[in-house]
Amino acid sequence: MVIRSKDVRQSESIELLEPEVVELAEEAGETPVATVNLRLMRDVQLTTTGKVTGKSYHWSGAGSITPVDEPDVELLLQRGVHKSCCGSLSKSYFEIVGD
Amino acid sequence: MALVTGNPYGNIQVQEDIYLESAPTIWFQDYTSAEFFAPDADGYYWQLTGTSTYPVYEMGCAANVSMTENLTVNDVLCDNVGVKDTVQQRNYLELQFTIRSFFPFDNLTHVLKGGAVTETAPTQKFGMSTVNNNKFWHVYAAKVYDEIAGDYFAIHLHKAKFVNAFTINMPFGSPWEVTGVVFRAFADTTKPANQRFGVFVRSDASVIT
């Protein structure tokens, strides 16, 4: 689109406007994935991959919270549950953080 | 005829016919966190409660557990009489043990005075660098001596640090072990004067009524 300036007498100035950029909507077939906030209960800096989605998640230390895609939550909650040497049952690496 | 025993007269505090055996289970937690009883109804600070930020660490498979104290001892010497008295000052308490459980690293690294643990499946790693001298712990060691009644004896140390050099023994045909593990418990000036270093606890409903 070209706009001719009416105020310039000696020379004509032409202002070029960039065509509007129309952002595409979300690609067909992609829907937002629900996430669940998981709090790390272990004293480690943890990086792990979701077994279902293949996404990589990172926790910076004990008490840190990271959103996790819902399909990965169940398997992550089973992580770390095993019998300790002294008979007690260790707890999961994670706990779900309420809304 | 009365039995002649040579016992003293009057009010006598006898000892009970209960004998403790085997080591207590030892736990520790970052000193930054509050104790579970902070304080309890009797004014004592003890027991641990783990949080997501400050978990309680268990010392699995401890062996050769012992507890001792370090005192400054000075005699009061009178040149005309000799030693009339001995003045003592408690410097610290120590809980010493060997551990035969190595994993996970999040427990082991503190025993070895190591660094933060990084975990990227399937590995865990931590570095050995300079000792962090600002790291203190609550320590809680409990021994259940009647598992049916739930009677137990516990020792709680308020402010302890892993001190001294460790040794990792790797013998043939026997489990690896970390020896030289020492918790040194210092006076905690934030606690009342009657429990500067720690607290001894006993729970026994059949005897303590």
Instruction: Give A-chain residues touching B106 at CB under 8 angstroms.
Output: 42-44
Closest listed residue to residue B67, CA positions, set B194, B184, B191? B184
Phi, psi of A72 (to 5 degrees): -90, -10
Residue A86, pLDDT score: 61
**B158, B140 in Cβ contact below 8 A?**
no
Give me the interface pTM, i.e. the ipTM: 0.74
Closest listed residue to residue A46, CA positions, set B114, B120, B130, B108? B120
Cβ contacts below 8 Å, chain A against chain B, sum to: 54
Nearest-Å Rg of the Cα atoms of chain B is: 21
Measured distance CA(B119)–CA(A80) in Å, rounded: 12
SS3 A73: helix
Please name the member of B52, B58, B124 whose beta carbon is closest to the beta carbon of A44: B124
pTM attached to this predicted model:
0.83
**Residues B22-55: pLDDT tens digits?**
999 999 999 999 999 999 999 999 999 999 999 9
> A3 or B40: whose pLDDT is higher?
B40
Residue B22, pLDDT score: 94
Residue of chain B whose alpha carbon sits nearest to that of A83: B60
**B142, B152 in Cβ contact below 8 A?**
yes
